[in-house]
Structure 1
């Protein structure tokens, strides 16, 4: 069973790379370079407008360490949400299941985002005096939490959006303001009470705080609770898988 899962997931992973990025290696490189240049440009623009970041001396780094946890979550979540629709033709084969489709998109998207993150952070550190530190364990914890959160929320959204097109529209509307309430452009500690406590129900806030703990020696981030993030992701993932397992055939008829 494990061998069949690995084989099907690998096949879907190769197909995902071929259809998303084309057969040329340059296409995948272009898919990485494009967001890298966009993020670096936005970082430079914000650094010119706001020269004094809440942490450190580089607003570009502050912005990047806030944006990337959100971006990793959002990219993984959106890819997982559309997994069934994207792989509906292959899912007609008995040897291919919805689990294979979810895993293939999760692995490729997470790896791509890690590469983009590494390139952007490397460029920012080399191009400017950031006066930052680098704690690999803290950073990896933030990346892992963001990716797992995207997987869990995406699995639940996949089941619900496949069952109802109205939910997909609702979900897109809900996700739009998330970047403004997840601590990307501000420090969570700067938010007055009781709003600060309310924002802590947003798991992305904890992921952003965790990432910044990996780059700023003075940042404590006492509010960060990755246990809450993983529990939130686990509840969403289990609920999504239960719905997909129970109504999988019915959902496929809606595609």
Structure 2
């Protein structure tokens, strides 16, 4: 039998951890995987009920449910990958005694599961809105995929940083989720960039999440106007954050395995 090395071993390890996460994430709930869909649906219903009418009047040419969907689900992808990476080491520590299993595999498995869940939610909810008569034109599916991949890569990079900080500092799992909460309000989940005067847009346009959400709305609804957002900037931030995250992980990996 030929020994496996490198990517083959890592792929098998991530696959096994992925299946383990899949079972533990939803196996204990009666509704199982439906919980993944119910969470963004409940969020959207509450938002539509509370502020839908008011914000609908300030929206540019786009359906408000579609506007919300292109903010809530992508933000859930970012938030869940980042926060679930915090305790990935502790949750799988017993498995690191096996040489093929590394902390990076546990984080990747959790991130892949989250990508699968949120991508499925996004596709299903788009289909539901289309069946309900909401107008949309998916003329740029490759562009939508590129935006989604860049957002996932950005989230993964932040996830690596959070994993390292979560191992280095005991209070990180309490503090870091609180620190990223303001991004929900600063990333355009509930507002369109067009309502901010041009001279003040620099206050928010540094945020790559804002670029991702606005680009996603334009990809789903081409009539939605864009103001200074850039797919290149989103990918640049994603690649830079991934590099920083992997660099921190590589420097910290021996200490993680020893602890």
TM norm structure 2: 0.87
Equivalent position SS for 1:131: coil
The whole-number CA distance in structure 1 between the counterparts of 2:233 and 2:147 is 13
Matches within 5 A, 1:176-187: 176-187=181-192
Residue 32 (structure 1) aligned with residue 36 (structure 2): yes
* CA-CA distance at 1:178 after TM superposition: 0.9
1:213 paired residue number: 218
Question: 1:212-252: per-residue Cα shift (whole Å, max 9, x none)?
Answer: 11122222424222222222222222222222222223235
Q: In the alignment, does 2:243 pair up with 1:250?
A: no
C-alpha separation in 2, matches of 1:20 and 1:185 = 28
Q: CA offset at residue 25 of structure 1?
A: 9.5
Matches within 5 A, 1:66-77: 66-77=71-82
SS of equivalent to 1:69: helix
Q: Following TM superposition, by how much is the alpha carbon of 1:188 offset from its aligned partner in structure 2, in angstroms? A: 1.0
* Unaligned runs of at least 5 residues, structure 2: 1-5
- CA change 1:86–1:25 in 2 (3 A) is same
**In the alignment, is the contact (CA less than 8 A) between 1:43 and 1:59 conserved in 2?**
no
Q: 1:206 to 1:70 in 2, by over 3 A?
A: same
66-75 vs 8-17, greater mean Cα deviation: 66-75
In structure 2, what is the Cα distance between the partners aligned to 1:251 and 1:98?
8
Q: 1:3 to 1:49 in 2, by over 3 A?
A: same
- Say whether the 8 Å CA contact 2:26–2:32 is kept in structure 1: yes
Q: Distance in 2 between matches of 1:27 and 1:184?
A: 27
Match of 1:41 among 42, 45, 62: 45
8 Å CA contact 1:77–1:151 kept in 2: the answer is yes
1:84 corresponds, among 89, 92, 115, to 89
| CA–CA distance in structure 2, aligned partners of residues 25 and 7 of structure 1 | 29
Deviations 1:68-90 (A, max 9, x none): 22222112222233321221111
What is the CA–CA distance in structure 1 between the aligned matches of 2:41 and 2:239, rounded to whole Å? 34
CA shift at 1:40, angstroms? 4.2
Contact 1:8 1:100 in 2 (8 A): yes
8 Å CA contact 2:211–2:234 kept in 1: the answer is: yes
Q: TM-score, normalised by structure 1?
A: 0.88
Deviation at residue 100 of structure 1 after TM alignment? 1.4
Matched, 1:199 2:197: no
Match of 1:18 in 2: 23
Q: Match for residue 146 of structure 1?
A: 151
For residue 23 of structure 1, report the CA deviation from its aligned partner.
7.7
Structure 2: how far apart are the matches of 1:207 and 1:217?
Answer: 15
CA distance in 2 between counterparts of 1:47 and 1:126 reads 20
Give distance in 1, aligned partners of 2:47 and 2:126. Answer: 11
Ranges in structure 1 where 5+ consecutive residues have no aligned partner: none
3-state SS of paired residue (1:217): coil
Residue pairs, 1:158-177, within 5 angstroms: 158-177=163-182
1:111 is aligned to 2:116: yes
- Tell me, in whole angstroms, the C-alpha distance in 2 between the residues paired with 1:79 and 1:18: 16
CA separation of 1:147/1:25 partners in 2, compared to 1, >3 Å: closer, same or farther? farther
